[in-house]
Structure 1
Amino acid sequence: MDRIWLNSYPEGIPADIDPQQHSSLVEIFDNCVKKFADNTAFISLGKKLTYRELDHYSRAFAAWLQAQGIKPGARVGLMMPNILQYPICLFGALRAGCTVVNFNPMYTAHEVEHQLNDSGAEVIVVVENFAATLQAALPKTPGVKKVIVASIGGMLGFKGKIVNFVLRHIKKMVPTWNIPHHVRMSTVFEEGAKLPFTPVALNHDNYAFLQYTGGTTGVPKGAILTHGNIVSNVLQAYTWVRAYTTDGKDLIVTALPLYHIFSLTANCLTFMRLGACNLLIVNPRDIKGFVKEISKYKFTAFTGVNTLFNALLNNEDFKKIDFSSLKLTLGGGMAVQKATAERWLKVTGKPLVQAYGLTETSPAATINPLDMTEFNGAIGLPISSTYIKIVDDQGQSLPLKEIGEVLIKGPQVMKGYWERPEETTNVFDNEGYLRTGDMGYMDEKGFVYLVDRKKDLIIVSGFNVYPNEVEDVAATHPGILEVAAVGEDNGPAGELVKLFVVRKDPNLTEDEIITHCRKDLTNYKVPKKVAFVDELPKNNVGKILRRELRGK
C-alpha cells in the first residue's frame, strides 16, 4: 500500500528498521551493561543500581534458575511493583532463556491461579505484600516448582530494614502468609553469585514474554511476544526518541508499572538501549509522595496515562517543579484528553505527545512527532516498518477520513495467543493484519485518529456516539476532575449517554454539566444522565474501565 505517512515523518526517522541488528533482547542487554557499566540504570526509593550491578545480580538469578533445573523456554512469573528486584529478575530470566510472565500484584487469588495454570509457569517471584494472595492460589497450581519471595526494602541496605519494619508492623501492609519451601530473594542472589552461569543462544523466534491482556473480551489471554517482536519495537521506539536523548545522560520517570507492556518496552527496554536511568515509582497513586520523589531529580523524559497526568496537574507542589530538563512526555494506554494536554504544556512548558499501541503490538504502533507544540488529537503516524489500514465490517479498506476498524501489521505484532489457536486465527485477517477492535480513521497526511473501542460505541437513535468525544468535552469543565461516558438502555431509541463524574467542585450540578456539553455537542451526543461518584474504576495503569460502569 501507499505509505502516505512517510511524508509526515520527522527528519532522520527511517521508513523501515532492521530487526536483525540484534539477535535477542539479551544481546541488547549484554551490550548495554558493558557500554554503560558505571551509569545508574535504576533508582528506587533513593537507592541506585548501576548497569554493572544489574549485570551481576541478573547473572546470579539466571545461574540460580539453571541450578534448579529450570530449562530454556520455561515460564517465570514476576509479581512485583516497581522495585529494583523487578528488572533484575526480568533480565535474569531472559538470560536463562526463560519466558517472562508478568502478573499484576493486585490480582485476586482466582486471577493468579488462572494465569499460573494457563501459562504453565514453573517459577514465580512475589513481593511479600502479595504473598498471601499467591498462597491462596498455589493449592490449585501444581505446575509451580519454585516460589521466591522478595520485600520492598530488600535491596535498600539499612534503610530497607526500616522500610520493611514500617510496612510489616506499622502500616500492616504485609498480610500474614505461609508458603512452605519458599526461597527468599536474598538467598537466591547469595547462592547464585557462587554458581556457574551458562549463556543461552537465543534468536528472534524464542518467546520473550507471555503478556496477558486485560481480559476486556472474556478470559485474559497470553499474547506471545517473541524476542524478534520486542527487539523490533525497541528499535522502532529508539528511532523516534533518539533525537531527544543523549546516550548515558537521560533519566526517565517510570511511574507506570514495569509489568505493563507500555512501561516495560518504552521505559525499561528502550531507555536501557540509551544507557538511561529509570526512576522507579513504587506507588504512583500516592501523588504527594510521587511529586516529592521526582522533585529531587532532573528528569528528561516522562511516560504516563491521562489519569496520572491529570492527578499530577491537580497537585500544587507538582506545578513548582523545575521542568527545564524535560525533553519529552509520552501519553498512552488510553486517550489523552485535549484539556489535559493543554494544561501539561502550560505547567511544564513541554508538549504532551500521544502514542498508541496494544499488548499484541509490543506495544507501540503509532507515535506523534515529538517536536509538536500543539495537541492534534491524533494517536500519531504508523512507526517505521508498520502498516495500518482502516476497514469496514466486511474487511474492505476504507477511503481516507472514513471511520472503520484499525488494523496493524509489522514486525512488532505478536505471534498469537498462547494455546488459543482459534482466537489467534480470528484476530488476524487474510493479509496478516491484526484486528485491534479500535475504531478510527486516517487523514491525508497519514495521521491516525481513534474515535473509540468498537465495543464502547453508544448507539443513540441509530447514530454512533463515541464516548471519548463526550468525555473530552465534559473534561473541559473546570468543576470536573474525571469523567467517563457509557451507554444506558433507552428502550426503542436504543441507548442514551450517561456520564459518571468525579467532581472537583462539590457544588457542581447535573444541569450545569449537561448545559456545558450542549455548547459543543450535537443533541444526540449530549448526556441525558449524570451520576456523581467518588472515584472511577481503573485498571493497573490508571485506564478507566467503562465496562464496570455499565448498568450502574
Structure 2
Amino acid sequence: MIVKSKLKAAQPHEPIHITILRRCLQFHADDPEKKAYFSSIDNSDGVTFKQIRDYSLSLASWFVENGFRKGDVLLLCMYNSWHFVVTCLGAWSAGLVVSPASTLFTEYELRYQLEDSTAKIIVTEESLLEKITKANSTGAKILCVSEKTASADDFMNIVTKQRTSTAVPVPVKLENDLILLSYSSGTTGAPKGVMLSHRNYAAALISYVIKFDDSYKALGLDGFVPPAHLMAFLPSYHAMGLFGTMFALHNGTTQITMKKFDLESLLRHLQDYNISSLGAVPSVVLAMAESPILDNYDLSSLMMIATGGAPLSLKVVERLQKRLPHVQLFQGYGMTEMSIASHISALGCPDGSVGQLLPNTEMKVISKTGKLCGPREQGELWVRGPQVMKGYWRRPELSKDLFDSEGFMRTGDIVYYDDDGYTFICDRAKELIKVNGKQVSPTELEDVLMAHPEITDCCVVGLPHDKYGEVPLAFIVAKSINEENIHAYIKERLAPYKRLRGGIQFLDTIPRTPSGKTMKRALKDDYLKKVKQTHKSRL
C-alpha cells in the first residue's frame, strides 16, 4: 500500500529567500538590536536580522551588475558564519544557483565540483583561498571574505558599500529554476550534483513548520515556539547544516556559529544561553554520552536533541539518557536528494524509529519480488513529495532510473513501517558509507585507488565504528606498495573523512561472482568474523 502523511501543508507560493528576507524586517521591527548570528569565539562579531537582509540584497545587486545571470552556478566553500548565509540569500536573490562545497575537500575534489557544476563564481574565505585558487581550473571569478586579498574581490567591501539595485530580487520560477546544486556521493562513480528547485526547498521549509507546530500542540502548547538561541555547528555545506540554519533564521532564532566542532565550547554555550534544543549527528551524541566533561556543565535547559545523517544506535541513546535523563532524543530520515528529509520523529515515537512522514509526503515499500509491502514487511523504501529533487545534474539517464512511473524516488534503504506509519530502517541496499553523517562513495575511493600505477585491483566496504558510525576499509591487490604509501596517496587526494580509517587488507585476488560483481558482502563478513575471533582469542 502507499502510505501518506497524516499532515497537510499548503504549496509554496514564493521562494524561501523572499520569505526569509521579509521576516528579517519583521524581526528587526520587533527588536532592532537582536542578533541573527554571532560567533562562538567572539560574540561581538555578530549581525542583526536587518543587516542580513541588507547585506544579502547588496550582494545580489553586485552579482547582477557584474554580469551574472539567472541560472549561473556559484560554488560556495566557507566555514560556518553569517557570511555563508548572506552569500546564499544574495545568490538566490540574483537568481543564481548555490553549489556548496566541503571545506575539507582537497584541491582535486574542489576542481572536480567546479568543473562538473560549471560554476562561474566562487565565494570563499581567506583560510581556504590558496586551495581554491589552485583548484580554479575554469577561471571562475573569486570573492573572498578577508581584510587583505589581492587575488580576489573583497566580500565585506561589497556587502557594506554596494548600493541595492531595483533589479533584485530577480524573479524565479518555483518549479523550474534551481536553488541548490549540492553534491551527493552515489554508489556508482564520482559525486553527482543534486538539482533542487525553489519549490523543493520552500516545500521542505513549510513541511517542517507544520510538523513542528503539530508536535508542540501534542505537548499541550498552542503551537511551535522557536528557541531564543541555537548552536549552528553542523557544517553549512551539508544538507542538515544548511537547512537548519535557514529554518532557524526563518523562525527568528539567534544562532551561535562554530567554525569547527568543539565539545567543550558547545557544552559551555548550551549552559550559558539556556539552549533548549540541539541538532546533531550521531558522533556528537556519542561524544556527549562518553565525555567526562559533560558533568561540568548545567544542561537542565536542554530538552531535545534531534539527530540525522546516519542511524543512532540504541546503545548510544541509552548511554546519553543515563547521563541526561530529562533530554528527549529524536531521529529523522533523509538525504540530500530530499532537500532535507522525508521523516522526522516526535514525542511518542517508538524506540528505533525515524518517525512518520513529513506533510505532503508519501512512501511505498517494495519487496525483492516487486510486491507492495504492508505493515511490518521489509522492503526497499520509495518516496514521493514536493521536497524530492528534480534529478541529477547533467545525468538524465541516471535520474530516469531513480524514479518510477508514479514519480516515487528509490532510496536504496531497506525499511518496514508499523500500523501508525512509524518507519524503521533495517539496512541499506546501496553501499554508501556514512562517516560521521557524511556520505562516502566506495566507488569514488576505488576509482582513486585504481588510478595508482601499483594497484591492480581493489574494493572498498564500510565497517561499523563506535565513534564515526562507519569507516572505509580497502581490500587491495598491489604490485609493490605498502600501507603507509597508500594512506599518503589518499590523503593528498581526498577529504579527511574519506580516508581509510578502517584499514587496508592486501589480497592476492578480489573475489567476484560469475557475472563479474565484486563479492563485497562476503569479504566484509569474513573480515569481521576474523576480527571477532582474534578478539576472543585475546580474552
TM-score, length-scaled by structure 1: 0.74
- Pair 1:119–1:332, CA change in 2 (3 A): same
Equivalent in 485, 497, 502 of residue 525 of structure 2: 497
Structure 2 equivalent of residue 283 of structure 1: 260
Structure 1 equivalent of residue 79 of structure 2: 81
Question: 3-state SS of the aligned residue for 1:42?
Answer: strand
Task: After superposition, give the CA deviation of every residue in 1:369-419 in whole Å (9 maximum; x if it has no partner).
Answer: 2x23x7610111111111111112354312322222111000000011111
Structure 2 equivalent of residue 42 of structure 1: 37
Quote the offset at 1:486 in angstroms.
8.4
Structure 2 equivalent of residue 29 of structure 1: 20
**Which segment is superposed worse, 26-35 or 254-263?**
26-35
Question: 3-state SS of the aligned residue for 1:295?
Answer: helix
Structure 2 equivalent of residue 535 of structure 1: none
Structure 2 equivalent of residue 388 of structure 1: 363
Quote the offset at 1:344 in angstroms.
2.8
- Pair 1:120–1:483, CA change in 2 (3 A): closer
Equivalent in 299, 320, 333 of residue 323 of structure 1: 299
Quote the offset at 1:84 in angstroms.
1.9
Give the Cα separation in 2 of the matches to 1:407 and 1:315: 38
- Pair 1:498–1:301, CA change in 2 (3 A): farther
Equivalent in 293, 297, 309 of residue 333 of structure 1: 309
Quote the offset at 1:333 in angstroms.
0.1
Letter in 2 for 1:328: M
Equivalent in 129, 144, 151 of residue 149 of structure 1: 144
Compute the RMSD of aligned alpha carbons. 3.1
Quote the offset at 1:323 in angstroms.
2.8
Conserved in 2, the CA contact under 8 Å of 1:19 and 1:232?
yes
Structure 2 equivalent of residue 543 of structure 1: none
Question: 3-state SS of the aligned residue for 1:290?
Answer: helix
Quote the offset at 1:238 in angstroms.
1.3
Letter in 1 for 2:26: K
- Pair 1:395–1:270, CA change in 2 (3 A): farther
Quote the offset at 1:110 in angstroms.
1.4
Give the Cα separation in 2 of the matches to 1:404 and 1:312: 34
Question: 3-state SS of the aligned residue for 1:364?
Answer: coil
Give the Cα separation in 2 of the matches to 1:57 and 1:253: 22
Conserved in 2, the CA contact under 8 Å of 1:250 and 1:301?
no
Give the Cα separation in 1 of the matches to 2:208 and 2:11: 12
Question: 3-state SS of the aligned residue for 1:91?
Answer: helix
Structure 1 equivalent of residue 393 of structure 2: 418
Structure 2 equivalent of residue 220 of structure 1: 191
Equivalent in 204, 210, 216 of residue 239 of structure 1: 210
- Pair 1:51–1:457, CA change in 2 (3 A): closer
Letter in 2 for 1:368: S
Question: 3-state SS of the aligned residue for 1:19?
Answer: coil
Task: After superposition, give the CA deviation of every residue in 1:288-335 in whole Å (9 maximum; x if it has no partner).
Answer: 333334433221221111111111222333333333333432100000
Letter in 2 for 1:58: S
Give the Cα separation in 2 of the matches to 1:54 and 1:67: 20
2:427 is the alignment partner of 1:430: no
2:396 is the alignment partner of 1:401: no
- Pair 1:528–1:278, CA change in 2 (3 A): farther
Structure 2 equivalent of residue 198 of structure 1: 168
Quote the offset at 1:432 in angstroms.
0.9
After superposition, residues 289-308 of structure 1 pair within 5 angstroms as: 289-308=265-284
Give the Cα separation in 1 of the matches to 2:258 and 2:226: 20
Task: After superposition, give the CA deviation of every residue in 1:35-60 in whole Å (9 maximum; x if it has no partner).
Answer: 11233222223233211110111111
Quote the offset at 1:180 in angstroms.
6.6
Give the Cα separation in 2 of the matches to 1:256 and 1:382: 23
Give the Cα separation in 2 of the matches to 1:211 and 1:270: 18
Conserved in 1, the CA contact under 8 Å of 2:391 and 2:399?
yes
Structure 1 equivalent of residue 68 of structure 2: 70
Give the Cα separation in 1 of the matches to 2:386 and 2:8: 10
Give the Cα separation in 2 of the matches to 1:308 and 1:332: 11
Structure 2 equivalent of residue 350 of structure 1: 327
Q: Which runs of 5+ in 2 are unaligned?
A: 217-222, 434-460, 476-509, 513-518
Equivalent in 87, 94, 97 of residue 96 of structure 1: 94
Higher relative contact order (CA 8 A, sep 6+): 2
Conserved in 2, the CA contact under 8 Å of 1:61 and 1:93?
yes
Equivalent in 426, 429, 438 of residue 454 of structure 1: 429
Give the Cα separation in 2 of the matches to 1:481 and 1:275: 34
Give the Cα separation in 2 of the matches to 1:136 and 1:494: 41
Give the Cα separation in 2 of the matches to 1:322 and 1:438: 39
Letter in 2 for 1:198: V
Question: 3-state SS of the aligned residue for 2:235?
Answer: coil
Give the Cα separation in 2 of the matches to 1:141 and 1:490: 41
Quote the offset at 1:268 in angstroms.
1.5
- Pair 1:252–1:405, CA change in 2 (3 A): same
- Pair 1:294–1:224, CA change in 2 (3 A): same
Letter in 1 for 2:253: A
Task: After superposition, give the CA deviation of every residue in 1:205-245 in whole Å (9 maximum; x if it has no partner).
Answer: 22110111034432111111111001111111112223547
Structure 1 equivalent of residue 153 of structure 2: 183
Give the Cα separation in 2 of the matches to 1:246 and 1:41: 19
Taking every aligned residue pair, what percent have the same amino acid on both sides?
A: 25
- Pair 1:226–1:481, CA change in 2 (3 A): closer
Equivalent in 230, 252, 257 of residue 252 of structure 1: 230
> How many residues were matched structurally?
451
Letter in 2 for 1:261: A
Structure 2 equivalent of residue 441 of structure 1: 416
- Pair 1:429–1:68, CA change in 2 (3 A): same
Letter in 2 for 1:149: C
Question: 3-state SS of the aligned residue for 2:91?
Answer: helix
Equivalent in 1, 10, 17 of residue 9 of structure 2: 17
Conserved in 2, the CA contact under 8 Å of 1:496 and 1:528?
no
Quote the offset at 1:185 in angstroms.
1.7
Quote the offset at 1:439 in angstroms.
1.3
Structure 2 equivalent of residue 540 of structure 1: none
Task: After superposition, give the CA deviation of every residue in 1:444-473 in whole Å (9 maximum; x if it has no partner).
Answer: 221111112213499xxxxxxxx99x95xx
TM-score, length-scaled by structure 2: 0.76
Letter in 2 for 1:40: K
- Pair 1:407–1:483, CA change in 2 (3 A): closer
Give the Cα separation in 1 of the matches to 2:224 and 2:413: 35
Equivalent in 118, 122, 130 of residue 132 of structure 1: 130
